[in-house]
Amino acid sequence: MILFRQERHRRLFHNPLKNFALEEQEVEIRWDPLLGHQAIFNPILEDKKRLFFGEHDWDLVKRLAEEGRSQCFMCPEKVRSATPRYPEDLIPDGRVIRGECTLFPNLFPVGLYHAVVAVGEAHYRELQDFSASLLEEALEASLFFINRVFGRDGEAQIAAVCANYLPPAGASLIHPHFQVYISRESPPFVARVLEASLAFYLKWGQNYWEALVREEESQGVRFLARMGRVSFLASFSPLGSNEVLGIIAEEDPLSFEDLDNLARGLSAILKGYQALGYGTFNLALYLSPRNHSLPWFSPHLRIITRQNLYPAYRTDDYFIQRLLGAELIIMPPEKLASSLRPYFTQVEPR
């Protein structure tokens, strides 16, 4: 039913770095069980990770943060006075405030609704400093906003909570923030996932995401942890570097009784990413259309690392990803899972 398809090919060539000695290298191709997306792995690349990602320079991040701090409208002295506000009939007081987190309209929206969530008061954070309680506040503010929009605008159909952290991941500001994207129609990738999930359900009579959790938990090598009704696992054929999935077994997609567990798992992943030498990430939390509980779809989180930040860093997104639609694996998902798994026992208690 769920096929973890992979192929290995061995190739010979004379390597000039080894005095033209004959060398054999292996290339492994994996296919995503739902979408058929390809991920490609050459074990040699794992040993040369620094050539691809460099060493993340937290001192450089701190310096850039200090240079931009005076202009940052997400810092506490400005976020509740200088940011835009929603109309009172949509959001009382114009902004959503949860603890240290403040949600407000994006000045340059790209969706039917497009909000920004300032994640905490600190102008910059290392990945290990994203606490579970802080992430829960940010997620709670985001879901409250989505519920308000869905309750008042019949055109709003699709919602996602997303994040770009630091410039290599697409962020224009250093200050940590989430973005809430709401649209009339599904973005292309979301549409693919929904269509494939429905097709799997019609063929097999089962929810793909629930079946995936059962299969991965039984195999164990990529399964990270189950926290309440949220299951975390390393993707077999990732859509981005070091991808982790958080799959939510939730009857009411936006009530999220296990929101704390989603935040605790996300905090563990970020701590693990930093321990592995990464400092940037993208994430997306995909919700069920229009807050409907669907038998064939489960809300889920995807998070990936991006290129590290250092002077003259290179992009990690090139022809393989953008023009061929495949992904390059630097660390096998099974090894990623074994590296991240310990951090799920270290997150803040509930």
The string of pLDDT tens digits covering residues 13-66 is: 899 988 998 888 899 999 999 999 999 999 888 777 777 788 999 999 999 999
Q: What is the mean pLDDT of residues 284-313?
A: 92
- The pLDDT tens digits of the residues spanning 91-149 come to 999 999 999 999 999 999 999 999 999 999 999 999 999 999 999 999 999 999 999 99
* 156 burial via Cβ count (<10 Å: 0-12, 13-18, 19+): buried
**How many Å apart are CA 37 and CA 247, to the nearest integer?**
19
Give SS3 for 145.
helix
Q: What is the mean pLDDT of residues 330-335?
A: 95
Confidence of residue 219 (pLDDT cuts 50, 70, 90): very high
Q: Where are the domains of the chain?
A: 6-49, 50-345
Confidence of residue 254 (pLDDT cuts 50, 70, 90): low
**How many Å apart are CA 182 and CA 325, to the nearest integer?**
25
pLDDT at 193: 97
What is the DSSP code (8-state) at residue 309?
Answer: P
Q: What secondary structure does DSSP assign to 214-250, as a single string?
A: HHHHHH-SSEEEEETTEEEEE-SS-SSTT-EEEEE--
Q: Which residues contact 324 (CB under 8 A, 6 or more apart)?
A: none
With vertex at residue 272, the alpha carbon angle to CA 269 and CA 277, rounded to the nearest 5 degrees, is: 130
The chain-wide mean pLDDT, for the chain, equals 93
Give SS3 for 140.
helix
Q: Would you say residue 250 has pLDDT above 90?
A: no
What homologous superfamily is domain 50-345 in, according to CATH?
Answer: HIT-like (3.30.428.10)
Confidence of residue 298 (pLDDT cuts 50, 70, 90): very high
Q: What is the mean pLDDT of residues 160-174?
A: 95
Q: What is the mean pLDDT of residues 78-86?
A: 94
Q: Would you say residue 221 has pLDDT above 90?
A: yes
pLDDT at 253: 59
Give SS3 for 313.
coil
Q: Would you say residue 315 has pLDDT above 90?
A: no
Predicted TM-score (pTM) of this structure: 0.95
Amino acid at 254: L
Would you say 113 and 156 are in contact if contact means Cβ atoms under 8 Å apart?
yes
Which pair of tokens denotes residue 124? Answer: 């910059």
